[in-house]
């Protein structure tokens, strides 16, 4: 039987504090001093996201290598997703690069990494019964909570300001703020945390199955 374990909130509040300090400083310079280029395209906030996502990509690749075979799909998917997000934030066309680089990272050449990304997503969907059956094990882990929160920051919170659903001044700043939060969460998840959590989930499931089998035999 699965038992919920209470996680320390200290790492999360550390991330929250870092995000608040960074966004507050940028907000001051952008809104009070007029340096709106800080949250413009290819500005400081997007460049910070690129650095964090590149770091997350390396971390997720390491996680995919270090995780048990049965659980390697998720970190592999996250690695490719982080890689794709890097070039979502970078406007490659604005750099002095060759046409082949633009084709690869801003044109139809993106299919080279989008196709395997979709393949890994389908593999996750194919094993959705396993994740639903053992949802309690996964949802109790810090890395999964961070990934879910990052998804909300990208797909919900930042979109509210990107689509101008909320008529607020400096809406682009708030959009980039939530995307920065998502990038920080993914970076924090990638190094060691996801690997440890997935391997622990595999151990907990195996242990509980063994206990269940023993109890069935004894009865």
Per-residue pLDDT tens over the stretch 109-166: 666 777 888 898 898 988 888 889 989 999 999 999 999 999 999 999 999 998 888 8
**How is residue 50 written in tokens?**
């690129």
Distances from the Cα of 97 to the Cα of 43, 101, 109, 126, angstroms = 19, 6, 15, 39
Query: With bands split at pLDDT 50, 70 and 90, how would you rate the model's confidence at 90?
Result: confident
Q: What is the pLDDT of residues 161-215, one digit of tens each?
A: 988 888 888 999 999 999 999 999 999 999 878 988 998 898 888 888 887 667 6
Return the residue matching tokens 């890689």: 83
Q: Is residue 103 part of a domain?
A: yes
**Among candidate residues 80, 146, 162, 166, the one with its CA nearest the CA of residue 115:** 80
Q: Looking at the predicted structure, is the pLDDT value of residue 87 above 90?
A: no
Q: How many domains does the chain have?
A: 1
Summarised one tens digit per residue, pLDDT across range 15-32 is 999 999 999 999 999 999
In the structure, what pLDDT confidence band is assigned to residue 5 with cuts at 50, 70 and 90? low
In a domain, 36, yes or no: yes
Domain that holds residue 106: 11-210
Is residue 217 a part of any domain in this protein?
Answer: no
Handedness of CA 22, 28, 29, 34 (dihedral sign): positive
Cα dihedral 19→24→27→29 (10° resolution): -120
Mean of per-residue pLDDT scores for the chain: 86
Residue 3 lies in a domain: no
| Residue at 4 is within a domain | no
């Amino acid at each position: 039987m699965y038992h919920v374990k209470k996680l320390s909130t200290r790492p999360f509040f550390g991330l929250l504090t870092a995000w608040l300090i960074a966004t507050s400083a940028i907000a001051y310079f952008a809104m009070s001093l007029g340096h709106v280029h800080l949250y413009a395209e290819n500005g400081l906030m997007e460049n910070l996201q690129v650095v964090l996502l590149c770091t997350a990509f390396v971390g997720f690749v390491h996680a995919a290598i270090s995780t048990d075979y049965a659980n390697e799909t998720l970190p592999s998917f996250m690695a490719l997703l982080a890689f794709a997000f890097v070039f979502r934030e970078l406007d490659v066309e604005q750099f002095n690069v060759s046409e082949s680089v633009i084709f690869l990272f801003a044109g139809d050449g993106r299919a080279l990494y989008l196709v395997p990304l979709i393949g890994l997503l389908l593999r996750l969907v194919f094993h959705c019964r396993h994740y639903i059956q053992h949802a309690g094990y996964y949802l109790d882990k810090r890395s999964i909570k961070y990934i879910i929160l990052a998804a909300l920051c990208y797909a919900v919170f930042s979109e509210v300001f990107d689509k101008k659903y909320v008529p607020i001044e400096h809406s682009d700043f708030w959009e980039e703020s939530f995307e920065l939060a998502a990038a920080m969460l993914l970076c924090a998840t990638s190094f060691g945390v996801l690997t440890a959590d997935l391997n622990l989930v595999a151990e907990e499931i195996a242990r509980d199955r063994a206990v269940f089998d023993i109890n069935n035999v004894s009865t």
